Amino acid sequence: MRCSSGGWPSRDVHRSPSNRCVGVSGYRDGVTATYAVGEQPQRHPLAPGASPGHIRGALLPEDRGAFDAAYTEALDEARETLELTALFKTLERWRRIAVLQADRNNFRRVARRVAELRTGEPAPEDEPLPVTRAKAGL
């Protein structure tokens, strides 16, 4: 019986002493990765998979401390559990916030609209953003 890789015979797949098909790496099934480093096509710095530095840089200064704390906690968890899921979820959550905040004028409009919807009262144009955000729960 021949071993194959992905349905095709392969020199990189052979039978182990236990009569299982294994790759040269010793894994029975192929190994996959969800993240790769290498030459990537140019894309927006806040596209999915954005670096923590780009995410942090797009956040409002008053939110950077909360990002730093969440990122540090997720890194510590990843180091302890050897599992990256929580880290990736944390980065994605903050990436989405950064996308909203990257256009400061649009973020101000969104915050005003949410505050109006939550309070039932119009948010004044000249209201400081922290006050509007507090009303909006952002």
Say how far apart CA 138 and CA 135 lie, in whole Å.
Answer: 8
Say how far apart CA 92 and CA 1 lie, in whole Å.
Answer: 46
pTM over 0.85: no
> Six-digit token pair at 26?
């010793």
Candidate from 56-60, 84-88, 119-123 with smallest mean pLDDT: 119-123
Q: DSSP secondary-structure letter at 28?
A: S
Helix, strand, coil content of the chain in percent (nearest 5): 50, 5, 40
Per-range mean pLDDT, top range of 7-11, 21-25, 61-65: 61-65
Half-sphere exposure of 116 (CA within 13 A, CB side): 11
pLDDT tens string 91-118: 999 999 999 999 999 999 999 999 999 9
3-class DSSP assignment, residue 45: coil
